[in-house]
Amino acid sequence: MSLSRLNDAIGKINDVLCAASVLVWDSRTMLPKGGGATRAGQLATLSLLARALLLSDETLKALDGARREVETMPQGAAWRRAVQKVEEAIALHRRIPAALIERRTKARALGTQIWVEARANNDFASFAPALADIVAVTREYADAAGWSGHPYDVLIGLYEPGATFADVAALLDELKCGISPILGAALGRPRPARDFLDEPFSEERVKAAARLLTEVLGYDYEHGRLDKTVHPFAISFTREDVRITMRLGERSFANSLFGAMHETGHGLYEQNVDPAFTRTPLTTDLVGLHAGGGASLGTHESQSRLQENHIGRSRDFWQAHFGRMKAALGGLDGVEAEAFHLAVNDVSPGLIRTEADELTYDFHIMLRVELEAALLTGDIEVADIPGAWREAMKRHLDVTVPNDREGCLQDVHWASGSMGSFCTYTLGNVMAAQLFEAARQQGEGVADGLTKGDTAPLRLWLKEKVWRHGKRFTRDELLQRATGRALEAGPYLRYLEEKYGKGA
């Protein structure tokens, strides 16, 4: 009975957070330029309401009873884990003042709106004051939450529970050592033809092709939709309404398509959670105060990177589906599936993270983790970012940054206050390879299906091993159950070596 009351209480919080998510989706797809300040206040009000409900007497009383109700359940039981999630969130929010939550929410919402304009105009100076506010409130948040090793630990913990800056730094070092020789060998080979990737298509044609590909991957349009945005994202208002977005008007239509396929991975995760977990602590981020779930953001990114790269950049996928994509686009005359596959797997250091090939992608993440950690500790300040970015791009990838739009203004993450989240893309890359390797070895019909461009058997395996569990298991628990091992870089490095060691 108490557990039921607790889930009812959390359900109300989930409703509030879903309402906030609708406003976030609107603000990043169609909010008029002049509406940013008001929207920031609306989102702050909803965040404070969610926090108040979490710390209310109703929730605390229900939690006390539910704690006794689940104590005889085995460790790892779904509802015992749900109670633990509520306990962890309450412990954190008792340390964070309500005024700080309000300031942080407003800063993030305003920062996103200002960034859109600044990016379009290549004007870092107009964005710098908003970013300075975000950095300041983020530092305050880390201090209030409490940290002992590194302030970055608090932020990583919001997205990747249990991970530390030291963990991330060690993994990035391992990958740098492992990927660098593969990258060097790949750069020594002739590049494939790719001029056809610049063929212009209308936004309507590109969106039609994206819809086709996302449906092939299994995204359910009865419970979702695809919209245009500046920086692609996915967002969930419970499993019944999960939306994805894409960029349109890109230099290369392929960048738009792969962005949509990436977000499809996030969408599949949210659409396939166990219905019994809807509006409970197992589908609600009570720490970060937003709707949606998954074991961690890195786990979520593993699903997006798996769809984008392991499937979307595979030869078999394009042998099966290239003709239909060509028809949707209405072009690419004379281009064959093999040529397209080679082109979208071309290896060449570039400016833009979301357009990066698989071998250079993690170097983009290394740069961002390095800079945001330095921002947190005060080793650099906001005014230093453009220069520090240019220096780091040259050092990591030997790329010269011509302007801030293609440099430090390219990502929305800092503008939206998501400092500490960039590392989850690399964690996702590593986890995706580990899961994909296990699925091909263990999943009935998975390997055979993939050779035909059929992802249905893989989806069934992922639903059983990953998607349906929501936030029930930690990342490493999920990996242990699915692969028999905790997170490890080996499968990822093997995948890259096998694919790029002798050419894609």
Q: Convert the pLDDT of each residue in 54-64 to its tens digit.
A: 999 999 999 99
Rounded CA-CA distance 54/12 in Å is 9
Full-prediction pTM beyond 0.85? yes
> What's residue 504's pLDDT?
61
The DSSP secondary structure of 294-358, one letter per residue, reads -S-HHHHHHHHHIIIIIITT-HHHHHHHHHHHHHHHT--TT--HHHHHHHHT-----S-GGG--T
> What's residue 361's pLDDT?
97
Rounded CA-CA distance 460/474 in Å is 21
Low-confidence stretches of the chain (pLDDT beneath 50): none
Calculate ∠ Cα 215-243-122, nearest 5°.
Answer: 110
Domain ranges, ordered by start, for the chain: 2-148
Rounded CA-CA distance 108/111 in Å is 5
Rounded CA-CA distance 331/41 in Å is 46
Rounded CA-CA distance 28/232 in Å is 9
Cβ atoms of 288 and 158 closer than 8 Å = yes
How do residues 64-74 score in pLDDT, each as one tens digit? 999 999 999 98
> What's residue 274's pLDDT?
97
Cβ atoms of 299 and 470 closer than 8 Å = no
> What's residue 76's pLDDT?
82
Q: Which residues, at least 6 apart from 230, have a Cβ–Cβ distance to it below 8 Å?
A: 28, 116, 119, 247, 412
> What's residue 249's pLDDT?
84
**Catalytic-labelled residue, pool 69, 102, 160, 263:** 263
Can 58 be counted among the known catalytic residues? no
